[in-house]
A and B are shown apart, each in its own frame.
Chain A
Amino acid sequence: MADLVNLTIDGRAVQVPPQTLVIDAAKTVGIEIPAFCYYEGLSLQAACRMCLVEVEKMPKMMTACTLPVAEGMIVRTETEQVKQARKYTLEFLLTNHPLDCPVCDKGGECELQDMVFRYGAGESRYTEEKVHTPEKQFSPVVFFDAPRCILCFRCVRICNEGMGVNALGVINRGVVSEIAPNVGDHLECDECGACIDICPVGALTSGTYRYQTRPWEMTHVGTICTHCGDGCKTTLGTRNDEIIRGNNRDRSGINGEFLCIKGRYAFDFYNHPERLQAPMVRVNGKLEEVSWAQALEVVARKFDATVSANGSFGVIGSNHTSNEENFYLQKFAREVLKTNNIDHHRTGDVVTLLDAMSGTKSQLATVADLYDRKAVLVLGADLALEHPLLSYQIRANYRHHQAHVYAITPGEVREDKYTVASIRVGGGPASKKGDLGVIPGKEVGATTSGPGSHPVGGPGVVPNAEAGAHFDPVNGPGKATGSPTGFVVPANVKSITGNYFDALESLRDQLKAEPELVILFDDSIKGADVRALVEFAESLGIPVKFICLVDYANSRGAVDMGLTPELFPGYKPTGASGMHVSEMTGSDLDVLWVVGANPLKGAVKRKAGFLVVQDMFLTETAQQADVVLPAASAYEKSGTVTNTTGEVQQLTRAVNTMGAKPDLEIMGFIAREMGVAGQLGPWVANVVFEEIRKNVRGYSLPMPVIATGGAAQSMPVNGRIAVDDLSALVHSDHNGLFASGTLGRYSKVLNSVLESHLSR
């Protein structure tokens, strides 16, 4: 190990790579140097002076958080001088800090409290009056209490660097310095709460958690966020069957400490006043509350009668329910109800990607790949709004490893700030949804492609089949006139000039020169375009990994578990036909069974003879039902979900809501009532998961990883998936940061923040 640096810390020999900071070097031998402003992963600040250590041959004490190791360095962290320095620093930090820990929100988990306990002096020599300023509210989520702030700049840095939002700053000087929000007296930001979580003291507190509890009174349950498809682990703090806060301070899970507003705060739908807590059956045209036994009986008898009369069924599954529930549901539909009319709202063309990838060198990427891989190409999505975790990972990759990021998107995206190249396509934000216009393709010469037979300007571009008809190589798709190019190129990129085609061609050359690449794409690329994209990736001659973006917590799991007519679980073609969502809602089936979905939203009139709905709320669909069965949320059940990168993680029940039952249990009870429970097997999540592990392609996952709260990637790529191109059914909701489909309507926090009412 020739290139390691040798030094001595407190008499112990330490060997670390060059450039390691003394504070980190000490950690490797179990020596803790106290620190406030130093924060792993963020830029260095050296603001707090808590980490001072003695270094031989250096004239004064040094900040261990900014001092890189050097050969032969001798460091002492526990001398009298160092201890004194810590005492003084703490005494200084406490001069204006209120000493009312018993009523401070942070009490019990405050770093300042802990430090004073370990390193502080028993009393202060400061007897003057403390500077006091009243607390401020920056937003419904963020509150700031200036006197408690120790000016560590952690909040400022996590917002600038981690979130890429730049919403916080420090204004004024000296004793009156304070944290300030970006728009006058308030914040207009992501409202992610990262600044609150990272604050070592009680200066930043959250609107939802403050003064609710003492931290030691909570039970902490690690589970998976039920909103977008990124699959963040969120640790829910619960007390007396109430969720009081969400965070992930232990950095477990694929997201580390990251959470967006939805993972950190939007669990609050679970106790919305409109939450359903009793089953309902339609009597004389009106939904009336009944007992579970009565409701289940009505459903079972109807199902029985329809089966024996050879009637028609339709089954619509969910993007939020667990893999176990989805698996059980399709089994129920196919084996008991004898129908292949089973579907769900498809939000990304996973099927075509897996099919196109079979036999190629391309692979599926994980969330971690976005942090590790050298280059990333974003196609279509505004990641910072639609896939906050993935965007965060890419930002961190750029910050820490100078990853090369490329973005081809319809509008401006947060990634633009650090991309090598950003190309605007699709005619701007107006056509934001599902119309990228072009994708980079392999050499096609002067051929044509897609309807409209447009002349293609040169190699490197395959016009999107749908957009081809209005594709204008000079002005961009859908734009007759306007700026000469329709795409932007950052000034620092010289090689991309001229029109679209040149831009894309030059992009292809740049990508070829990368050692490796991760490509993310949303629903603007589907069907044949996905195939072209995979071919394009193969033509680059470098290792490429893919992420097909999907919308919700278990959108991916819904496809994996066979919630489509054409595929059994594990992408085995059924070879049979069946109705899709819109066909089911549009036809007069005898029975339509909707589990955790809202296909009748937007005033769609129900056509089915009998409608059974399992849901948390009286959605547009539930309102038209004959039987409504109150379902448990993801935070009230166990099971597994699969995120947009195919990583499978475990849900752990955090609370119970009286009257509601997990969908798996509801289905199990219906089966029991029908006398088919034996055929379908136990409705216990881990038993069903065992069945999935044994039978579903790609899901023979290591149980210890999942059971201990880790993520294991399912790998269903294995041979072609011989089904018709159904990509026309793929349609993303493109939820922004403050939306979450139907569920988002029931979150107080999401609806209370100003930004959810601005057009974002």
Chain B
Amino acid sequence: MTFSPQLEARFEKLLTSYPPGRQRSAMIPMLMYAQDELGCVSDELIDEVARRIGVTPLQVNEVLTYYSMLHRKPLGKYHVQVCTNISCLLYDGDKLYEHACKKLGITHKEVTADGQFSIEEVECMGACSWAPAIQINYDFHHYVTPEKLDQLLDGLRKKQ
């Protein structure tokens, strides 16, 4: 499997960042970066990462299915993650999530027909102090209200 030169360079760096024999430690970052480039984690990618770090594809799958930020199916261009864990819940995170679903016309782990947005209900993201919090791709947004969410999504929609 071939990747972009930038990704290859990243992989190379990762594989030498750990002591000899511990290359499997590079699994999560490799999957994350590759997912960014490919859109999701494919079977082919699982095999490739397994081969490069010397584990079985099943072992990659174990890790992959454990972590919610790794995806087997392509996401929207903008992946909207709404926290409904305790702190955010206390600040109406659940209502925010419902609002987002209604607005985009999709629910948990679904993608809009135009492929622009996907949504996911997530557990605590460590942003409790600024609850309710959401994350779009790698960017955090704090103290989010339904209005603020609308603005954000509309803004992104225009950007395309």
Contacts and interface: CB of A to CB of B under 8 A. Distances in A.
A180 interface: yes
B59 interface: yes
Contacts of A173: 65-66
Contacts of B66: 171-173
A182 B65 contact: no
A578 interface: no
Contacts of B57: 182
A166 B65 CA distance: 18
Nearest to A156: B62
B61 A166 contact: no
B61 A171 contact: yes
A166 B59 CA distance: 9
Interface in B47-73: 56-59, 61-62, 65-66
A225 B62 CA distance: 36
Interface in B32-88: 56-59, 61-62, 65-66
Contacts of A428: none
A490 to B, nearest CB: 12
Interface in A138-195: 166-173, 180-182
A554 B147 CA distance: 82
Nearest to A178: B65
B62 A170 contact: yes
A166 B62 CA distance: 12
Contacts of A182: 56-58
Nearest to B56: A166
A601 to B, nearest CB: 38
A180 B61 contact: yes
A170 B61 CA distance: 9
Nearest to A182: B58
A277 B74 CA distance: 62
Which interface class (under 10, 10 to 19, 20 to 34, 35 or more) fits B?
A: under 10
A184 to B, nearest CB: 9
A166 B24 CA distance: 15
A251 to B, nearest CB: 28
A180 B46 CA distance: 15
Contacts of A166: 56, 58-59
Interface in A96-147: none
A172 B59 contact: no
A172 B58 contact: no
Contacts of A168: 58
Nearest to A171: B65
Interface string B109-151: 0000000000000000000000000000000000000000000
Contacts of A170: 62
Contacts of A180: 58, 61-62
A84 B126 CA distance: 33
A581 to B, nearest CB: 44
Contacts of A169: 56, 58-59, 61-62
Contacts of A167: 58
A633 B57 CA distance: 42
Nearest to A181: B58
B56 A171 contact: no
A168 B66 CA distance: 15
A285 B139 CA distance: 88
Nearest to A165: B56
B24 to A, nearest CB: 13
Nearest to B59: A169
Interface in A671-703: none
A388 to B, nearest CB: 20
A172 B61 CA distance: 9
Interface in A482-531: none
A174 to B, nearest CB: 9
Nearest to A166: B56
B83 to A, nearest CB: 17
A171 B62 CA distance: 4
Interface string B8-41: 0000000000000000000000000000000000
A758 to B, nearest CB: 17
A168 B56 CA distance: 10
A181 B61 CA distance: 11
Contacts of B59: 166, 169
Given A171-B65, A172-B66, A182-B58, 13 more contacts: A166-B56, A166-B58, A167-B58, A168-B58, A169-B56, A171-B62, A171-B66, A172-B65, A173-B65, A180-B61, A180-B62, A182-B56, A182-B57
5 contacts: A166-B56, A168-B58, A169-B58, A172-B65, A181-B58
Closest 9 CB pairs of A and B: A171-B65, A169-B58, A169-B62, A182-B58, A172-B65, A173-B66, A166-B56, A171-B62, A171-B61
